């Protein structure tokens, strides 16, 4: 019987070579793999707050020092100031970094505002406070998994964060019921007066005081004031509470007439003639937190139906 040994030997040799190369690669990656580095942690902006927890966007650079692609699997980080835990964050999804490359990652950090408030005296001594970023990262290089402990620093701008939180609280429109616009009993045809509630929601668990409110109101694209309103008294807003500031606005009859005429005969397109008018609010509010004063610009708009109000 003929013997066919050469192809079998060739195939066996090829398989052994492949296994040897794979083993060599595994050994090389295992012995030479290095943990990723996380650097340049920086604060972007506050984009939400709910029940005492602020969502702050943070950006950082993650570097792969290896000659193979590295994949970040799981992560968990803690933000702390003087051993007081202020918040947490983690990478939302797995992501890969090419060999020797750096990837910029944006993450959402949750900051506990009651804890932040505890550190207020220390944080206000300087423009920026250095927070400790501690945690660990699970990663994979080629077929080899690893875990690395992270201990970095993060420059946290407390005043910037607080001002952005106040901006959210003061510029966020209240519910339709609370901020309803209605006609005042004293209103006449040539001296129109409306009632309007300005709603301030304190969702971030730090009490503050409104010291001075100066607001201006305009209709649609007008450059002139329809009305103005100011309050020199102070209004205290406790944590997780809502303050309703009633306003009585004496409207300019001339400006109101211009808005109506521009909507009926003016530059609105046919499609927009049935749309409600827009009441724009701009101004400045002085807010005090722990004897620190902030000036918060106000700018928001809401639809208003002049016909339904009985003005025209």
Give residue 89's pLDDT.
93
pLDDT in tens, 16-60: 555 555 555 555 545 567 889 999 999 888 888 887 888 999 999
Q: What percent of the chain has pLDDT over 70?
A: 79
Output the CA angle 117-120-121, nearest 5 degrees: 145
Beta strands in the chain (DSSP E): 37-50, 53-63, 70-81, 84-89, 95-97, 102-112, 129-141, 144-156, 181-183, 193-201, 208-219, 227-231, 235-237, 242-250, 277-289, 292-304
Can you tell me the mean pLDDT for 243-267? Answer: 76
CATH entry 3.20.20.70 includes domain 174-309: no
CATH 2.60.40.1820 residue ranges in the chain? 174-309
Give residue 97's pLDDT.
94
Q: Which of 83-97, 226-240, 273-287 is the least confident region?
A: 273-287
CATH 2.60.40.10 residue ranges in the chain? 34-156
Say what the alpha-carbon torsion angle 148, 151, 156, 162 is, to the nearest 10 degrees. Answer: 70
Can you tell me the mean pLDDT for 76-96? Answer: 90
Give residue 269's pLDDT.
46
Give residue 264's pLDDT.
45
Among 180, 188, 192, residue whose Cα is nearest residue 255 = 192
Give residue 88's pLDDT.
93
CA pair distance 131, 79, nearest whole angstrom: 6
CATH entry 2.60.40.10 includes domain 34-156: yes
What average pLDDT is seen over the chain? Answer: 80
Q: Which of 52-56, 270-274, 300-304 is the least confident region?
A: 270-274
Give residue 4's pLDDT.
46
Distance of CA 184 to the CA centre of its chain: 38
pLDDT for residue 266 is more than 50 = no
Indicate the DSSP class of residue 286: E
CA pair distance 295, 31, nearest whole angstrom: 57
Tell me the pLDDT band of 244, cut-offs 50, 70 and 90.
Answer: confident
Comparison of pLDDT for 263 and 144, the residue scoring more: 144
pLDDT in tens, 172-211: 655 445 567 888 899 888 899 998 888 888 877 778 899 8
């Amino acid at each position: 019987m003929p013997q066919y040994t050469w192809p079998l030997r060739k195939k066996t040799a090829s398989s052994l070579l492949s296994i040897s190369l794979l083993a060599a690669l595994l050994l090389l990656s295992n012995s030479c793999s290095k943990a990723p580095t996380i650097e340049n942690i920086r604060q972007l902006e506050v984009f939400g707050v709910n029940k005492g927890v602020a969502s702050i966007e943070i950006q950082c650079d993650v570097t792969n020092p290896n000659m193979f692609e590295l994949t970040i699997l799981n992560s968990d980080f803690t933000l702390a100031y003087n051993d007081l835990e202020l918040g947490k964050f983690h990478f939302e999804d797995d992501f890969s970094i090419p060999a020797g490359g750096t990837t910029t990652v944006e993450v959402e950090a949750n900051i506990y505002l009651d804890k932040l408030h505890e550190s207020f005296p220390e944080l206000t001594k300087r423009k920026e406070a250095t927070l400790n970023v501690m945690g660990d990262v699970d990663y994979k290089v080629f077929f080899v998994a690893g875990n690395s402990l992270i201990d970095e620093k993060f420059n946290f701008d407390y005043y910037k964060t607080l001002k952005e939180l106040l901006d959210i609280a003061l510029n966020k429109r209240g519910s339709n019921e609370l901020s309803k616009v209605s006609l005042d009993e004293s209103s006449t045809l040539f001296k129109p007066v409306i009632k309007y509630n300005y709603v301030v929601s304190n969702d971030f668990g730090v009490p503050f005081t409104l010291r001075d409110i100066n607001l201006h109101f305009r209709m649609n694209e007008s450059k002139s004031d329809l009305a103005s309103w100011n309050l020199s008294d102070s209004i205290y807003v406790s944590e997780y509470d809502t303050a309703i500031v009633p306003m009585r606005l004496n409207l300019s009859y001339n400006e109101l007439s211009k808005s109506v005429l521009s909507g009926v005969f003016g530059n609105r397109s046919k499609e927009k003639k049935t749309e409600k008018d827009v009441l724009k609010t701009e101004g400045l509010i002085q807010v005090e937190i722990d004897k620190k004063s902030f000036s918060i610009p106000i700018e928001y708009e809401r639809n208003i139906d002049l016909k339904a109000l009985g003005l025209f």
